[in-house]
Structure 1
Amino acid sequence: MSINNFGRDIKALRTKRKIGSRELSRLIGKAETYISQLERGLIKKPDYNTAYAIMKHLEFTESSIDDFLYNFYQIKSPKRIESEAQEVANWEEKRAAEIEELLSQKQKTSGSDQEDKENKLAYNEKIFESEWMIELIKNLEKKNEEIKMELSFNVNNNAQTFEPVIQNLHFLLISMRKNRENFNFFVELFNNNLSILSEGSKEKILKIVKEEIDK
């Protein structure tokens, strides 16, 4: 799920619980048209307190709302924002200490020119990795968790429909360990943003895939 789907999902939950949009708007202390605008995508990102109130009145357990809003929609509570900021500050402080240690070791080094070059190379590589590789890995791990959450949500709510999807995805992923062609196919396929394709393009692709499999 993404933040853009929050309004859509709220509408589905509200409808299931038979709560009118005007009624829910009043319950959270907003104008009567607020929920309707949110569901139609006119309000892209509600603040945390508003989102929390909506989920509470849709009968979500209060203890689960914070994690749910963050994991599914990236809506962060003030406490979570503060915690993440502190983590960044702690990381920066630790990294600064590591750099100072590297500089100190470099200054103490009194070997040959070759040793100086090796030390400089090792220093530069560590700085290089810390500036983008660590951030890249962190972002990929975050997206991987979001993918797992999305799959889990669909499995739990659409188990029968999603069974062949998970089964075939599992086949393809496992086969990539030994089959380089499958690996290349997977990488090339998802090197593209398939979500932007038109409905007609998606139908063409599905038709081609079915024809190839049925051969």
Structure 2
Amino acid sequence: MSINNFGRDIKALRTKRKIGSRELSRLIGKAETYISQLERGLIKKPDYNTAYDIMKHLKFTESNIEGFLYNFHQIKSPKRIESEADEVANWEEKRAAEIEEFLSQGQEEDNIVQEYPLNKFEKKKNNIESEWMLELIRNLERKNDEIKVELSFNIDKNAQIFEHVIYNLHSLLISMRKDRENFNFFVELFENDLSTLSKESKEEILKTVKHVREKH
């Protein structure tokens, strides 16, 4: 059974600090088996307050806990969730206003003969599309930063195991610039959320890949 990242990290930190799993469970006000279940992956992701209490009792500086939970494990504080919801609401409101302005401008240009109306129409359209594209790019860049953090963590903690993963990922990514088939394969593979697959499905995929590799 695979162990989720947070449970794995908690086990490493708890062992280093010589705190028993039952003792830590009691310190955070949970059943004695809670930490053991978390470390074994039976609890996929705890709520923020529980995760915060765990890190606090593992002697982490409280001012650093929120950043660690978000950057390494995507466990968001209520404050961050509220802030992100506000950002989305503000963006949606701004975009709706831009679309309304665009449609209104288009109606005015239908009624009034102006010099180079097509150019103005295209310029307005491009402004709306660029706002949307910029937001998409910002979101993707944030995700890319999170991927880098997670890869760096595994390189640091599991270098020998992770060596082939990095080399093979690098080979596939670099080849995509010249090989459209590899590009299409990569895109179609990761259009799916592989983390949600059942254990049986994951084992079937690995079995198929291993079989193909052995044939070649």
Q: Common fold, TM-score beyond 0.5?
A: yes
Deviates more, 1:71-80 or 1:56-65: 56-65
Give the match for residue 85 of structure 2. 85
Query: CA-to-partner distance for each residue in 1:41-62, whole Å, 9 max, x for gaps?
Result: 5544433222112112223343
How far apart are the structure 1 equivalents of 2:20 and 2:145? 34
How far apart are the structure 2 equivalents of 1:167 and 1:42? 31
Give the match for residue 51 of structure 1. 51
How far apart are the structure 1 equivalents of 2:85 and 2:191? 32
Distance 1:87 1:168, change over 3 A: same
Distance 1:77 1:166, change over 3 A: same
Partner of residue 202 from structure 1, selected from 199, 206, 210: 206
How far apart are the structure 1 equivalents of 2:57 and 2:30? 13
Q: Which amino acid aligns with 1:46?
A: P
How far apart are the structure 2 equivalents of 1:7 and 1:171? 31
Deviates more, 1:25-34 or 1:133-142: 133-142
Q: Which amino acid aligns with 1:22?
A: R
How far apart are the structure 2 equivalents of 1:13 and 1:20? 11
**Offset at 1:119?**
4.8
Query: For structure 1, which runs of at least 5 residues remain unmatched after alignment?
Result: none
Q: Which amino acid aligns with 1:145?
A: D
Deviates more, 1:30-39 or 1:68-77: 30-39
Q: Is the 8 Å Cα contact of residues 98 and 128 (structure 2) preserved in structure 1?
A: no
Distance 1:140 1:206, change over 3 A: farther
Deviates more, 1:144-153 or 1:197-206: 197-206
**Paired residues, what number?**
206
Q: Is the 8 Å Cα contact of residues 95 and 128 (structure 2) preserved in structure 1?
A: no
- Which residues of 2 match residues 130-209 of structure 1 at below 5 A? 130=132, 140-191=140-191, 196=197, 197-199=201-203, 201-209=205-213
How far apart are the structure 2 equivalents of 1:67 and 1:104? 44
Query: CA-to-partner distance for each residue in 1:1-25, whole Å, 9 max, x for gaps?
Result: xx95433442343234321112112
Give the match for residue 108 of structure 1. 108
- Which residues of 2 match residues 119-134 of structure 1 at below 5 A? 119=121, 126=128, 130=132
Instruction: Using the aligned pairs only, state the percent identity.
Output: 72
Using the size of structure 2 for normalisation, the TM-score is 0.71
How far apart are the structure 1 equivalents of 2:192 and 2:6? 25
**Offset at 1:71?**
2.4
How far apart are the structure 2 equivalents of 1:92 and 1:192? 27
How far apart are the structure 2 equivalents of 1:194 and 1:43? 19
Distance 1:91 1:164, change over 3 A: same
**Offset at 1:75?**
1.5
Give the secondary structure class of the aligned counterpart of 1:38.
helix
Higher relative contact order (CA 8 A, sep 6+): 1
Give the secondary structure class of the aligned counterpart of 2:14.
helix
Query: For structure 2, which runs of at least 5 residues remain unmatched after alignment?
Result: none
Give the match for residue 73 of structure 2. 73
Query: CA-to-partner distance for each residue in 1:177-211, whole Å, 9 max, x for gaps?
Result: 12223323433444556563343551342242244
Give the secondary structure class of the aligned counterpart of 1:46.
coil
**Offset at 1:69?**
1.0
How far apart are the structure 2 equivalents of 1:210 and 1:55? 44
